[in-house]
Structure 1
Amino acid sequence: MTDDTPRLARLTTYPLKSLDPTDHESRAVEYGTLAGDREYAMVAKPADAAHDPETASVGGQGDYVNGKRTAAVHRLRSSVDREASTVTLREQGGDDARTFSLDAPGELNAYLSDYFDEPVSLRHEPRGGYPDDREYDGPTLVSTATLREVASWFGITVDGARRRFRANLEVDGVPAFWEDRLYADRGEAVAFRVGEVELLGLNPCRRCVVPSRDPDTGEETPGFREAFLRERERTLPPWLDSDRYEGNFRLMVNTRIPESEWGAGLSVGDRVEVLGTRQC
């Protein structure tokens, strides 16, 4: 591969939805997404009047405890050990790390309830996890150059932008906003291959309040949305022409992985190749 060959530069999962990432050299595809991605979620039982359909968990079991609900999630550091089936948590800036069982989460639920000051319990879904987008439930994708460009708008590091936008797949060897080539109009998908795995690019990812906050403290960046909209308009690729692109508060691509690809794997360094537009 030459230096300008699109390639998979990072491969990331979020074992416990809304908390810290885990980077991998390779990862299997299971049930349409990366193995172990958002396999666990924190859920709070809502008061009826406060129930938000956009944050509601699958099966009507309550609302996700995520960045849309509370900035407190940003101040909670986490590390999941899948082999031991444990999670280690600590508050940002603190040294008191505690390890909990994921199989018998009673003590974990008590810790989370105390931390968030409301009843919180763990949910587990090994068959595809709890994707941020239930319709386009494959791994999300962005380019390194895009993260570098967006980081320059706010005077933050590329890793800071990476942690704010929380993509699964990061592609290098391409210009900023290259990923906007990976979706077309409604009723269409853009097929592309990463290594030996074929994915379908479907939708530009609509952003929420989470990227506007410092990923360590939860402190909101003043004027983030307004600046993002202005800069996204200024740098919008002239070739971008999709009726799925509704407004400039969008970044990354939502995908789907066909069932025929389940069981295959992705690896850092895999070549990325655009195959063309297909009818859905």
Structure 2
Amino acid sequence: MHPPESATVEHILMYPIKSLDERSVERVEIVTNGGLAGDREYALFDGDGDYVNGKNDRQVHPIRAAYDGETARAEAVTLSTPEQEPRRFELGAVANDETAALTDWLRAWFGYPVTLDHNHEGGFPDDTTASGPTIISEATIETVAGWFDGVDPAGMRRRLRPNIVLGGVPPFWEDHLFADRESRVRFTIGDADFLGVNPCQRCVVPSRDPDTGNEIEDFNKTFIAQRRATMPDWSGGDWFNHDFRLMVNTAVPEASWGETIAVGDELTVDKTVPADETSVPAE
């Protein structure tokens, strides 16, 4: 059976503070650099200017973050940990450098100075070349969750941290959205144009419980074996020098900055073009 040529946006997920909890929204504007307004708009840094994230510090995982705001951009965050009562902080104040209460809270938890920086336009993307939203299908999340005992789809989604989750398609359908290293796949979501760049290379974070940071034993080994065994005919190109890749990194042409995407929008695949005809260079 030939897979469908389009999919539907089922969830749009934002991470207002990079490395902390998600926030689900119904619609969002694409901003400068092709990112989503409010996504990873804030980030934690240590005294050396390095990210404080789950990859570098397991103490990130027990932090719970809940966000307030009328738009896709969060206006306030309530933080808590197993040892600290919930406390609300205005993010607008953070943008104006009134950060003493928040940085004191962060220092008390981490045990060293941590600051919160802000980038209103474009945020702090994981991939600065393919800085558009990351995309995966709900069917893929469900399938990958089934590879591991005790992990449900909601928990796997939290481990993988996508921006756009697609419905109405089979597992790994999103692999249609990239080709080889010298090519890009054009597609649309609603009225916005996108370029599919590559399958996301995963780090240690998906192996860890998003609440505790505890790792699943042999997570990488199991993931790689299952990814190889379930690889559809439409996956591949020359990206899979290893199989610890899942989810699609994208870029958004400048002409689509300012467009809005929403839950329920259709994603339609267009054509594959040479990378040198796009704004995203070949690898």
Distance in 1, matches of 2:159 and 2:17, equals 16
Query: What is the CA distance between 1:105 and its match in structure 2?
Result: 1.5
The offset of 1:272, in angstroms, is 1.1
Letter in structure 1 aligned against 2:35 = T
Secondary structure of the structure 2 residue equivalent to 1:246? coil
| In structure 2, C-alpha distance between the alignment counterparts of 1:244 and 1:233, rounded to whole Å | 13
Q: CA deviation at 1:110?
A: 1.1
Deviation at 1:241, TM superposition (A): 3.4
Correspondences of 1:227-246 after superposition (within 5 Å)? 227-246=222-241
Code of the residue aligned with 1:13 in structure 2: it is M
Question: What residue in structure 2 maps to residue 57 of structure 1?
Answer: none
Q: Does 1:203 align with 2:198?
A: yes
Quote how far apart the aligned CAs of 1:195 are: 1.2
1:110 aligns with 2:104: yes
Q: Deviations over 1:124-153 (max 9, x none)?
A: 000100001111110000000100000000
Q: SS in structure 2 opposite 1:6?
A: strand
Is this contact kept in 1: 2:175–2:234, CA < 8 A? no
1:98 counterpart residue number? 87
2:62 maps to what in 1? 75
1:63-91 deviation line (CA, Å, top 9, x unaligned): 11101111111100012334683221001
- Does the 8 Å CA contact 1:30/1:262 hold for their aligned counterparts? yes
1:85 pairs with one of 69, 75, 82: 75
Among 40, 43, 46, which residue is 2:45 paired with?
Answer: 43
The 8 Å contact of residues 12 and 22 in structure 1, kept in 2 or not, is answered as yes
Q: Deviations over 1:35-69 (max 9, x none)?
A: 100000000023xxxxxxxxxxxxxxx11110111
SS in 1 for 2:269: strand
Determine if contact 1:188/1:277 at 8 Å carries over to the other structure. yes
Tell me which residue corresponds to 1:55: none
Secondary structure at the counterpart of residue 85 of structure 2: coil
Q: CA deviation at 1:114?
A: 1.4
Greater shift after overlay, 132-141 or 80-89?
80-89
RMSD: 1.5
Q: Is the 8 A contact 1:182 1:201 kept in 2?
A: yes
What are the equivalent positions in structure 2 for 1:58-69 lying under 5 Å apart?
A: 62-69=49-56
Letter in 2 for 1:45: G
Query: Structure 2: how far apart are the matches of 1:17 and 1:153?
Result: 27
Alignment of 1:208-219 (within 5 A): 208-219=203-214
Alignment of 1:164-183 (within 5 A): 164-183=159-178
Pick from 121, 126, 129 the counterpart of residue 127 of structure 1: 121
Determine the C-alpha separation between the residues in 2 that align with 1:159 and 1:220.
17
1:52 alignment counterpart: none
Shift of 1:244: 2.3
User: Is the CA contact (8 Å cut-off) linking 1:101 and 1:108 kept in structure 2?
Assistant: no
Give distance in 2, aligned partners of 1:233 and 1:241.
Answer: 10
Structure 2: stretches of 5+ with no match in the other structure: 276-283
Shift of residue 198, structure 1, vs aligned partner:
1.1
- Partners of 1:239 and 1:67 in 2: CA distance: 32
Alignment of 1:137-156 (within 5 A): 137-155=131-149, 156=151
TM superposition score normalised by structure 1: 0.90
Task: Provide the residue aligned with 2:28 in structure 1.
Answer: 27
Contact 1:16 1:80 (8 Å CA) reproduced: no
Aligned pairs, how many? 261
Deviation at 1:100, TM superposition (A): 1.8
Q: Deviations over 1:179-215 (max 9, x none)?
A: 1111111221101111111110001100000000111
Aligned-partner residue type, residue 158 of structure 1: P
Q: Secondary structure at the match of 1:10?
A: strand
Which of 240, 265, 268 aligns to 2:263? It is: 268
Indicate yes or no: 2:228 matched with 1:226.
Answer: no
